[in-house]
Structure 1
Amino acid sequence: MKYIDDKLFYKLIVQFLVLSQGQNRLLDTHINGLRQQLKQGASLDELKADLLSLSKTINHVLKQKPKTPAPPVPEDCLQRERFLNRLEELLTGINIPAKFQAHGKIIRQKLKSKPDDEAFARLFNAAVALILDINHHVHNEQQETEKFLESISNQLNLLDQQTRLASASNLASFSERESLNAAIKSQIDTIQDSASNALDLSALQNNITLHLQKLTAQFQLHERDENHRLQESQKQLTEMSEKLQALETETSILRNNLKQAHALAFHDPLTGLPNRLAFDEKIDAEFKHWKRYQKPLTLIIWDIDHFKKINDIYGHKAGDKALELVARLLQHRCRETDFIARYGGEEFVMLLQNIDAEQSLQIAEKIRRLIAETDFNYHGERVGMTMSCGISEFLAGDRQHEDVFGRADQALYQSKENGRNRCTIYR
């Protein structure tokens, strides 16, 4: 594999994910994980473990696949439309840096058109190239952040050295003051001895004058050294203060950048809701909390009925408006303790704390009726819209939160099969 060009391999991965999405529920779990890693700019080495796991699952699916005639191959136009929809969803879910947003907007607009075979090939290559450029950009930003952190570490080491020097200077000053005190005591003792043993006044005066001159010289020398040390210490403190201020400014900028990056990474730009990445993090934390305390916890998966028709009949801008409206209605009907996110496309997920599945059904029914009764107007024309949902409570035998999600997804499928515009609890 190391002889394959990285861009070609990335392109093959994206093509496989787009083509395989929705073919098999077991595969979808791996595919969704790989797509999420690609959005986060994962390298080929980081993808290796998930690709191996996907390969094993494919082998498992092939072994269990019933020997029935293969379904008819979809028409080229339907296959192309499926590719376009998956690419648009992938680009919508990516947090595109500012320098690529204009290019990304152009590609998304072209994806909404109906390109011919030649234009489709160019568009697909352009979309893959954009994803690779974003991945390269994110990787470079990570390297710059690492360099910045290394610079901070070096500055802290330098500050530590200067602090040690200042401490050593203070110790030297203390040591010299001790030496000066000893010298003063020695000279005073000598003067006292001279006064006691002096034979005449003239000799005593000369002796005292000589010792006082020595004391004066020692004081002057000490004062000169002390002033020099004070100047050096003041210089070091000034440098340390300036570097600390610069370090604080740089750290503040990095902290703000990280906050902004975190907010962008965990929020859906269209609806303003938390995105799938935020949901994955939240449900993992909630599952661990539920495992420990066993308080009721319920998951609801929502899906807009016939959303594709809204896009086809009224256009993608109408579809975006519909998603924004649904997001607002779901938010307004949630409690402060509940969590809601846009899972992807026209799907939304909710985590409801401290209520069981039956109580969650009552809340879900109110939301469903509200959405069905809400007038959604686009350019003066009323757009009918309904939603279906699947509900599953966290159960004692659940080993991972994927178990709960799988049940809620099956309940959603039952709602769709039974006519849509309904809520179903997994039984």
Structure 2
Amino acid sequence: MNNPNTAEAKIEQLSKRLQQSIQSRKQLEDSFQHDYNVLAELIIKLTYACAGMDHGLDNKLVKLRGLLQRNAGMAELEQAINDTQTVIEKHTLNVQRLLKQTSEQTQETVAFLRQQSLQKAGRDRLATIENMLESPSIAVTHYIPVMLELLQLFTASAHSLADSHTKPQQNSAEVPSRQLLELLNQVDFDGATGQLIQRTKLQLNQALDQQQFIELMLQLIRQIVKTINDERQSAQSFLLELNQTLTLVQGALQNTLASRTEFHDKSGVLNQQLQADMKQLNDSVETATQLAELKAQVSDHMQSINAALQQKFSLERDERRNFERQYEKASSRIKNLERQVEQYKRQLAEQKFKSLQDPLTKLPNRAAFEERFQLEFERWTRYKEPLCIAVADIDFFKRINDSFGHVAGDKTLQVLASMLRKSVKASDFVCRYGGEEFVIIFPQTQLEQAIERLELAREKISNIPFKFKSEDIRITVSVGVAQFSQDSDTVVTVFEAADKALYEAKRRGRDQIVTA
């Protein structure tokens, strides 16, 4: 028998253990690869399921799907997952806001339909829609059947109206007029289009029937299309001018190169001639036997050399003049092009500024907020300096629009926007998020300090002496505020917390500030 304590026996035992370890590791690797494949397949299917929801998200998902399909390393996957997560968070925030707006607009549409003279079948379908809206589910798929039902009910109502030849009611365009007015408040045009939009907004505040509303829409669309065409023609003219200038510069360069080549060729011939003349002069000096003969030969050679030098000087002068003409011609066109480029840069800068500004309140808009919020979040992630956000909403704002008109509502928004801006620090970021909602970002600010500024703003707003149609009105705001405090916090989670705190302030009776 083999002695278990011999070296051979110990090596054999170690070999068996090594084989067992290799087998166990292979099993773990196989199990890990299987789990990875299952998870990757699930994620790939989810990316296909999410396709078409958002263009930016689609691009990130396509990249992530490609990495998973070719079994990319974790470093590449981690970066792609982080990029996708950032886009998903923004998309989630947008979807939640859209869901909220969809819910509010759906409720208004249902209320509008409830006032119409519907037949029994229509009333039953409307009741079904209201039951669907009471569902606690909040998802896009939850609203799709509701929208389909509403569209079908609208279609049935329109057919019934056409069949009975009933005269349209004066307020039949009330809901679309309100929607159009909200859209017009989000855009800003200059010139004739801007004047038309202002006149349109005034007309939308009046009672319009369907025919008047359609005519107003057509007039507005025609003017906007004309403005777009004018911008397109202006851009085409600029591109044509740019193309012509580049063509001229290219031609000038080609002419200069051709002239330079010709100059080099002619200059080379003259240089060869000068060298030949100098060699002949040297030969004459070396072979001359008489002074008179040498003088005559030198004089001939010097005349030849002088003629060659004159030709060379003339050639260089013509080359220089030709270059100066080409340069001046191209320079003039380039300077003219530079002026046009500067003008377009100013226009683009103005358009970018307008695209980030709410035209009604002159505050930054939602797009500007999302850029700034992401920037402040990245700064908080890096330095962990205090950061808070508040969502403010005007209480019973719809009553102001319904009772006193949208002009009064617009004035209310402008006054409150100014008051919010004056009540916080210059470093705080105040924006109009949409409708009657405002959002304030408090960089490098503790929660208690943010609440103190918000309380000051709330009190000032509640004491503003609003007066509409000889009636004194007290305007109040409800506010929800949240702060970044944990490493797991994101722009979505903290904004949601502030938004939930806002609804809690509404539930508690409004005109107050609630902390998440």
Smaller-chain TM-score bracket:
0.7 to 0.9
Instruction: Render the CA deviation track for 1:120-170: whole Å, top value 9, x for unaligned.
Output: 354157437735863674477357536635753663464355346546655
Q: The residue matched to 1:93 in structure 2 has which SS?
A: coil
Give the Cα separation in 1 of the matches to 2:396 and 2:183.
20
Read off the aligned partner of 2:445 and give its amino acid letter. I
What is the rounded CA distance, in whole Å, between the counterparts of 1:168 and 1:294 in structure 2? Answer: 64
- Residue number in structure 2 paired with 1:59: 141
Q: Percent identity among equivalent residues?
A: 28
> Which residue does the alignment assign to 2:99?
28
Paired residue secondary structure (1:269)? coil
Counterpart selection for 1:322 from 412, 419, 429? 412
Cross-structure match for 2:179: 86
Q: CA deviation at 1:344?
A: 2.2
Residue 108 of structure 1, aligned match among 183, 201, 205: 201
Match of 1:396 in 2: 487
What do the CA deviations read for 1:223-260 (whole angstroms, capped 9, x no partner)? 33222212211111111220121111111110111122
Q: 1:94-243, aligned counterparts within 5 Å?
A: 94-96=187-189, 98-115=191-208, 119-120=209-210, 122-123=212-213, 126-127=216-217, 130=220, 134=224, 137-138=227-228, 141=231, 144-145=234-235, 148-149=238-239, 151-152=241-242, 155-156=245-246, 158-159=248-249, 162-163=252-253, 165-166=255-256, 169=259, 173=263, 180=270, 183-243=273-333
How many angstroms does 1:111 deviate by? 2.0
Deviations 1:345-378 (A, max 9, x none): 2221111101243432222111111211233356
Matched to 1:384, the amino acid is R
CA distance in 1, matches of 2:403, 2:97: 33
Alpha-carbon distance in 2 for matches of 1:364, 1:186: 95
1:418 aligns with 2:489: no
Summarize the alignment of residues 352-391 of structure 1 with structure 2, pairs less than 5 Å apart: 352-377=442-467, 382-391=472-481
Shift of 1:93: 1.0
Q: Name which structure has the greater RCO, CA cutoff 8 Å, separation 6+.
A: 1
Deviant stretches of 4+, over 6 Å: 29-32, 76-79
Partner of 1:266: 356
The alpha-carbon deviation at position 420 of structure 1 amounts to 1.0
Structure 2 length as normaliser, TM-score?
Answer: 0.61
Contact 1:27–1:57 (CA<8 Å) still a contact in 2?
A: no
Q: Distance in 2 between matches of 1:79 and 1:301?
A: 34
One-letter amino acid of the structure 2 residue matched with residue 89 of structure 1: E
Q: Which amino acid aligns with 2:349?
A: K
Residue 423 of structure 1: CA displacement? 0.9
Q: Secondary structure at the match of 2:379?
A: helix
Aligned residues: 366
Q: Give the Cα separation in 2 of the matches to 1:83 and 1:61.
A: 19
SS in 2 for 1:301: strand
Relative distance call for 1:222 and 1:321 in structure 2 (3 A) is same
Say if 2:435 is the partner of 1:345.
yes
In terms of Rg, which structure is larger? 2
**Quick one: structure 1 residues 356 and 243, their matched pair in 2 at CA, closer, same or farther if it must change by over 3 Å?**
same
Q: What amino acid is the match of 1:187? A: D
Q: Which moved more, 1:352-361 or 1:327-336?
A: 352-361
Gaps of 5+ in 1: 1-23, 33-55, 65-75
Residues 1:405 and 2:495 aligned together? yes
TM-superposed deviation, 1:81: 4.2
Could you tell me the TM-score, scaled by structure 1's length? 0.73
Classify 1:152/1:230 alpha carbon distance in 2 versus 1 (closer, same or farther; 3 Å).
same
